[in-house]
Amino acid sequence: MQFLKHIRRQKVATIFLICIFPLLLIAQDAPQNSGFGLAIHGGAGTILKSKMSAEKEQAYRSALESALEKGYRILEKGGSSLDAVEQVINLLEDDSLFNAGKGAVFTAEGTNELDASIMDGKTLNAGAVAGVKHIKNPISLARLVMEKSPHVMLAQKGAEAFAKRHGVSMVDEDYFYTKRRWESLQRRIEREKQKSGDGSHGTVGCVALDKDGNLAAGTSTGGMTYKRFGRIGDSPIIGAGTYANNKTCAVSATGHGEYFIRNVVTHDISAMMAYKNISLEEVANTVIMEKLVELGGSGGVIAIDAGGNITMPFTTDGMYRGYYLSGASPVVKIFKGE
């Protein structure tokens, strides 16, 4: 009996050593941060419940929810924050509701010129394109610039030649014609009160934190209605419209681009977090609700930090926005005070 017990004990010890112990070691080596999540925006501006039909509101809410769902599934499967950011933005670029890709606004000359940028918070690599006219998904071209060229930003014809060489999906200019944006340009022309453009909102952006603790940010836009041809806004400028750094946060902006460039908004949020060691929420509030407003600018940002904290301050009546954190449910909001 005694002998049998001894054998059994030995067997248990052997099983532990062969099967369980290595698992414990692996578990200790695994990254601590397995929380993940993302936040998105679909532009900020004069977005009032009183001026929006129930159907339109529903259309925006479900578009934002599908985008969150898409990003969440990528991150849940262990996909990278960069993949989540690119693919979420692709979805929004293909939706004519938003001022990016298909739904891009018109310049004063009746053309469409698109801007986009993406940044990897792990390596601080970044890519951007500006003023492109034939690119279906500018965010994907921005990622190619980051990964397949020695540059950070390519503009206009140079960007499009690079796109052709890499087999990127190109479209005719009339792909970007939508009745809604065309009419908005006509109204804008009639008002003749243009100074630097009052914007037609719907720029899209996404920030994400993946299971490995890597942050990424991306932004894509048609710019502002009635902008001068050749005008480039904040969206393709790293540090103004887009910024990501694993040590601090990932940020994407929307609003009157000239002010975001002058305030270097997204980098300012990251830098303030690093230097002052204060929370993302506090920092983003200071930069948007105080510094941007003081300069006369308007708009907002979405931001996420390495701990999965999300903040989305904006100065306007509304901002299409949402977030989805691991273990929780997706949240979509449009108006102020929601």
Give residues in contact with ligand ASP (CB under 6 A): 43, 199, 201, 203, 221, 223-224, 233-235, 254-255, 257
Least separation, in Å, of the C-beta of 276 and ligand ASP?
26
Burial class of 235 by CB neighbour count within 10 A (0 to 12, 13 to 18, 19+): buried
Least separation, in Å, of the C-beta of 29 and ligand ASP?
42
Considering only CA atoms, which of 289, 236, 288, 231 is closest in space to residue 265? 288
CA dihedral 100, 106, 111, 116 (to 10 degrees): -30
10 Å Cβ neighbour count for 335?
15
Cα four-point dihedral sign 282, 117, 64, 32: negative
Rounded CA-CA distance 239/268 in Å is 7
In the bound complex, which residue of the shown chain has the CB atom lying closest to ligand ASP? 257
Return the number of the residue (226 or 324) whose C-beta is nearest ligand ASP.
Answer: 226
Least separation, in Å, of the C-beta of 224 and ligand ASP?
5
Contact 133, 126 (CB under 8 A): no
Q: Residue 207 is inside which H or E element, if any?
A: strand 204-209
Helical pair 138-148 and 156-165, crossing angle rounded to 10 deg: 80
Return the number of the residue (120 or 234) whose C-beta is nearest ligand ASP.
Answer: 234
Are β-strands 126-132 and 153-155 bridged in parallel, bridged antiparallel, or unpaired? parallel
Least separation, in Å, of the C-beta of 114 and ligand ASP?
10
Least separation, in Å, of the C-beta of 128 and ligand ASP?
13
Return the number of the residue (42 or 308) whose C-beta is nearest ligand ASP.
Answer: 42
Active site residue 203: yes
Return the number of the residue (141 or 325) whose C-beta is nearest ligand ASP.
Answer: 141
Return the number of the residue (63 or 75) whose C-beta is nearest ligand ASP.
Answer: 63
State the catalytic residue, choosing from 203, 225, 248, 266.
Answer: 203
Are β-strands 310-311 and 318-325 bridged in parallel, bridged antiparallel, or unpaired? unpaired
Known catalytic residues? 203
